Amino acid sequence: MKRNLITGILTTLTLLLLISVPSAYAQATIEVTVPFNFMVGKAEMPAGTYTINRLSSSAIEIKGSTTKKSAVSIVWSEGPSGSDSAAKLVFNRYGDSYFLSQVTRGSGASVMQLPTSKLEQEQRIASTSGPSGQKVVAARLQK
């Protein structure tokens, strides 16, 4: 009887912990207006306003406010952004093509790095000088 009670309490606490972890990631939303079309993995995203939500420690959702398009991407953290206190998105540019590369929430938060897609790898190879550059777009952190 006592053992069943303890097992029930531990199970309930474990479920509460699992439920609360994803909600911690969902609290920090980034809003950004991207003035050009861009790629997130295989998804082509038109210029517009987007919200970016962290779904877990290894996934983000990019959702169009004006375009109604969305994409999910895996990410990995690359340590704090240092002295950079502003939220921002970093895009790799090859000619007229833009690929989302990094998302930073600012205020010393870790940089979320997106994987390089096959299309981006092909664009990089086709471009003799590597990336034509990077484009940084300022974003706004919402709570």
At 114-140, the pLDDT tens digits run 999 999 999 888 887 655 788 999 888
Domain that holds residue 137: 26-142
113 found inside a domain? yes
123 found inside a domain? yes
Q: Measured between alpha carbons, how far is 126 from 88 in angstroms, rounded to an integer?
A: 28
A 10 A CB-CB count for 83 gives 6
The pLDDT tens digits of the residues spanning 62-97 come to 999 988 899 999 999 887 656 667 899 999 999 889
Give the global pTM: 0.76
9 found inside a domain? no
Number of domains in the chain: 1
